[in-house]
Amino acid sequence: MNKPSKIIDLSHSAALDVQGVAPSASALDKIKVIGGQQLNGIIPISGAKNCALKLMCASILTEETLRLENMPNSLRDIASQVELLDYLGCTVEGEGDIMAINAGTITTQTAPYDIVRKMRGSILVLGPLLARFGHAKVSLPGGCAIGTRPVDMHIKALEEMGAQITLEEGYINAKAPKGGLQGAKILFPKVSVGATENLMMAATLAKGATVLANAAREPEINDLGECLIAMGAKIEGLGTDTIRIEGVPSLGGAHHRVIADRIETGTYMIATGMTGGQVRLENTSIDHINSAVALMCQAGMSVEQDGLDVIVARDINTPLKGIDIMTEPHPGFPTDLQAQFMAMLTIADGAGMVTETIFENRFMHVPELSRMGADISVQGNSAIIRGVKKLTGAEVMATDLRASVALVLAGLVAEGETTVNRIYHLERGYENIVGKLGGVGARIQKA
Ligand code: EPZ
């Protein structure tokens, strides 16, 4: 493997600070936005957070080096995952958007509560650790702001592959049968991105074939599958709801480029739709969010692919229209764009309805948007949004990543100043959001 010329060693947790991926914001940091500017210019899109986190876990499946390119290395969630891999004994090195991980040096198969609780994505070490070492002990991640988010499907499916699993003192204790995990036919009762990924990774080193039925079809799963194939895995059916994995004795190193972040892409599309103007989103694709793009166009925006970039625009004289959306597993409308779309509907002409079917508690942005003058009423898992003439700036706070960014978007069109508290959440998933929005004309700064 060719190492990047200047590597910063992340192999000890203190090095998180050295690389600069460690949280730069304290819980008290804020963002101030003054609304009223159209957005015009260019925004570079980062690699997908929700791919990157899983690809990092895939590195555990081999003792050779996995080299990842287009990594959103400055995100707080990536720093948490580095912390976990480092704890396990992996060697993690990074520079710019490159990360090289060597799990040949793993010393423990225990993922402790203190690290796992920071980010649910760390449950994805369970499948790889169990597959390669035959045992793993991973803290249960617990609930989070958007819902209870159980991991029962991950556990049950691994049991179907022969693992013995007990839950003790908040930990998942998993042991593979003698000779390793066994291929199995697994039917997920519900579509789950994480369970599909955990099982797909576990199955790469199992004895025989595994079939995952009712598998998730998110682009992040394809990307993980492509990386695993580059590492030597045998996988068919990516992009369909039936994925077949033929186990192999071992996997090797690989070089893989992470796909563009479709949720970051969609977020900046919606931002431009709200403010009016024209923005070129660099190095991304509409193919991964077709359903959301179709709805944006129905609402009055224009979105088109231009080579490797996407151009998004709305003429300020074309009013936004209220429309209905419902979140669904891919290829449906993504839950991770629901809050942002709702922010847009608050200023549309007429009413729109948002129905959330994936998570039970993903409307925490509603009271905050209401504080800015939005007219929203919630009934169960649906919200009716009646467009208002204008939002007004306010001090707001949100408790998860996408809710936080929805408040920033609302701030871009609100009259006066909006202060978004706890930007900690934003830094989990948006690289340099202040710089990127500021670069296309937004009046935004960290305070
Ligand atoms: C992933 O979470 C993403 N996270 C989420 O993005 C995203 O919202 C979600 O997929 C849906 O697209 C990462 O990729 C790190 P699921 P995941 O398993 O895998 C239930 C963001 O903002 N379920 O597909 O945890 C679950 O409670 C984040 O970037 C079970 O019941 O989601 C939910 O209702 C937030 N039992 C539904 O399935 C299980 O064992 C779908 O969840 C697993 C899940």
pLDDT in tens, 101-120: 999 999 999 999 999 988 88
Residue 62 has pLDDT above 60, yes or no: yes
416: left (phi over 0), alpha (psi -120 to 50) or beta: left
**R_g (Cα) of the chain, nearest Å:** 22
pLDDT of residue 148: 75
How sure is the predictor about 11, in pLDDT bands with cuts at 50, 70 and 90?
very low
Lowest mean pLDDT across 101-105, 109-113, 311-315, 419-423: 419-423
pLDDT of residue 17: 35
What does DSSP say about strands 98-102 and 110-111: parallel, antiparallel, or unpaired?
Answer: unpaired
CA 315 to centroid of ligand 1, rounded, Å: 36
CA 8 to centroid of ligand 1, rounded, Å: 32
How sure is the predictor about 10, in pLDDT bands with cuts at 50, 70 and 90?
very low
Instruction: Compute the distance between CA of residue 118 and CA of residue 70 in angstroms, rounded to an integer.
Output: 23
pLDDT digits (tens, 9 = 90+) for 33-51: 999 999 999 999 999 999 9
CA 444 to centroid of ligand 1, rounded, Å: 31
CA angle 122, 51, 161 (to 5 degrees): 60
Residue 23 has pLDDT above 50, yes or no: no
Burial class (CB in 10 A: 0-12, 13-18, 19+), 63: middle
Mean pLDDT of 15-23: 36
Instruction: Compute the distance between CA of residue 257 and CA of residue 46 in angstroms, rounded to an integer.
Output: 12
Nearest CA to ligand 1 atom 26: 149
Domains of the chain: 35-45+260-446 (3.65.10.10), 49-257 (3.65.10.10)
Can you tell me which atom of ligand 1 is nearest the CA of 429?
Answer: 29
pLDDT of residue 361: 86
pTM: 0.95
Protein residues whose CB sits closer than 6 Å to any atom of ligand 1: 50, 53, 120-121, 147, 149-154, 190, 192-195, 335-336, 358-359, 401-402, 429
pLDDT of residue 424: 86
pLDDT digits (tens, 9 = 90+) for 331-372: 999 999 999 999 999 999 999 999 999 998 899 999 999 999
Residue 8 has pLDDT above 50, yes or no: no
pLDDT of residue 26: 57
Lowest mean pLDDT across 300-304, 379-383, 396-400: 396-400
How sure is the predictor about 12, in pLDDT bands with cuts at 50, 70 and 90?
very low
Catalytic position from the list 51, 57, 90, 144: 144
What does DSSP say about strands 277-282 and 309-314: parallel, antiparallel, or unpaired?
Answer: antiparallel
Mean pLDDT of 274-302: 98
Residue 27 has pLDDT above 60, yes or no: no
57 in active site = no
Residue 250 has pLDDT above 80, yes or no: yes
pLDDT of residue 14: 33
Nearest CA to ligand 1 atom 21: 336
